Structure 1
Amino acid sequence: MAKDGNNSAARFLPDHLDLASLRGAAAGCEGCGLYRNATRTVFGEGPAEARFMLVGEQPGDQEDLKGHPFVGPAGRVLDRGLEEAGIDRDEVYLTNAVKHFSFTSQGKRRIHQKPTAAEVDACRPWLNAELTVVRPEVVVVLGATAARAVLGRDFRVTRQRGEPVPLGDDVPAEVTAVAVATVHPSAVLRAPDRDAAYAGFLADLQVAARTA
């Protein structure tokens, strides 16, 4: 296994990179402190030769409990957007920049907490390995945390959403996909005007569909 500092998933990577090996190895990842309170690692899912890779922030409460990405309310918004944009789910690999649920507890409720920059960086080896194996044509970046992981810390979704752009410097050079950034579908659910927010989200997905 690869060796690195204690605050990195790199030392948990398997010697052979394929999705099954990565998923199995990620189940035991202790590359940052989030594993201590999360129910499980929620790894990416989808075909190994997907044309599209969609990268979100982290698993939410339902994803953590069920073990699959984008199965909660935001996932339903995403599924609707993909269908209306003409992106076949069979050509989509879904994952997150961070593979464990980050939360604070309020009574019996678990409240989403944004991952820190250090946690995003610690989890980067998994995302880079997924990109290397899948080699998508287009990476759809969902929200600011995913943008930091895929496009670099200076990228701003509010300024450059819906524009095809190159991947950031921290992504392996052999991955030549084009990226299109948009808001996370959970932001659509939180928006004061959901219809307008969804229309903008859908427009960005349509750009991604045309880019592939």
Structure 2
Amino acid sequence: MVTYPGAQEFLPDTLDLPSLAAASRGCRGCDLYKAAERTVFGAGSDEARMLLVGEQPGDQEDRAGEPFVGPAGRLLDKALEDAGIDRGTVYVTNAVKHFRFERAANGKRRIHKKPSGGQIAACRPWLLAELDTVRPDVVVCLGATAAQALLGKDFKLTEHRGEVLRLDEELRSSHDPAVLATIHPSAILRARSNRDDALRSLVGDLQRAASLR
């Protein structure tokens, strides 16, 4: 695994969301900033009781500079609405703040590529700073990458989805929220069948998470 300098040295002295977001734009903790359009930091209130973590921004998020504004974000909005959760009351972010992609054969379309373990580790200080600043009651990990960033690289979503868990021991600080892992909305979009069932299962997991607040 390639190791990177990491984001730690780029964190601001003052840990509030505006300062973190501004500082993240200058992060050179790994190599993803070189190809991405911009840093995509989290969005939401610093008083949110629920924090949602995805894998990384996608093509539309990279262009807009905001998390969960593309197709997966719109599906997440629907799932939150169906679960009775106002998106305005939650904080949404990603484990990695830059879009990792590869070019399609025609050189035009940018295709999502999963971030490496080294890139996830390098970006983790931003995620931990968000957790320490927002201090949510519950964290929802959307997908395996987000879960592994907070629960350990050996975490298996298929075995522990929907369980109430705690942060990886090495990542715990004075704040120790409940953690629940579920599927990423993009997994529903990629499914060739049973999308309605998959959406209902995501809604159920979100409702379970909301009951922990």
TM-score, with normalisation over the residues of structure 1?
A: 0.95
Question: Equivalent residue for 2:176?
Answer: 176
Paired residues of 2:4 and 2:119 also in contact (CA < 8 A): no
Q: Are 1:23 and 2:42 counterparts? A: no
CA RMSD, aligned part only? 1.1
Q: Counterparts of 1:115 and 1:175 in 2: how far apart (Å)?
A: 27
Question: Equivalent residue for 2:161?
Answer: 161
Encode CA deviations 1:112-151: one digit per residue, 9 max, x unaligned: 0000000000000000000000000010000011011111
Q: Are 1:208 and 2:209 counterparts? A: yes
Q: Counterparts of 1:125 and 1:170 in 2: how far apart (Å)?
A: 13
Encode CA deviations 1:33-61: one digit per residue, 9 max, x unaligned: 00000000000000011000000000000
**Within-5 A mapping of 1:66-105:** 66-105=64-103
- Total equivalences in the alignment: 208
Question: Equivalent residue for 1:39?
Answer: 37
Measured after TM superposition, the shift of residue 210 of structure 1 is 1.2
Where do 5+ consecutive residues of structure 2 fail to align? Answer: none
Paired residues of 2:25 and 2:39 also in contact (CA < 8 A): yes
Range that drifts further, 88-97 or 132-141 = 88-97
Paired residues of 1:12 and 1:29 also in contact (CA < 8 A): yes
Measured after TM superposition, the shift of residue 105 of structure 1 is 0.6
Range that drifts further, 47-56 or 167-176 = 167-176
Range that drifts further, 169-178 or 140-149 = 169-178
Paired residues of 2:83 and 2:206 also in contact (CA < 8 A): yes
Q: Extract structure 1 runs of 4+ deviating beyond 3 A.
A: none
Measured after TM superposition, the shift of residue 6 of structure 1 is 5.2
The DSSP-based 3-state class of the residue aligned with 2:147 is helix
Question: Equivalent residue for 1:190?
Answer: 190
Paired residues of 1:128 and 1:172 also in contact (CA < 8 A): no
Percentage identity across aligned positions?
59
Range that drifts further, 196-205 or 111-120 = 196-205
TM-score, with normalisation over the residues of structure 2?
A: 0.95
Q: Counterparts of 2:22 and 2:130 in 1: how far apart (Å)?
A: 13
Q: Counterparts of 2:203 and 2:76 in 1: how far apart (Å)?
A: 9
Measured after TM superposition, the shift of residue 198 of structure 1 is 1.0
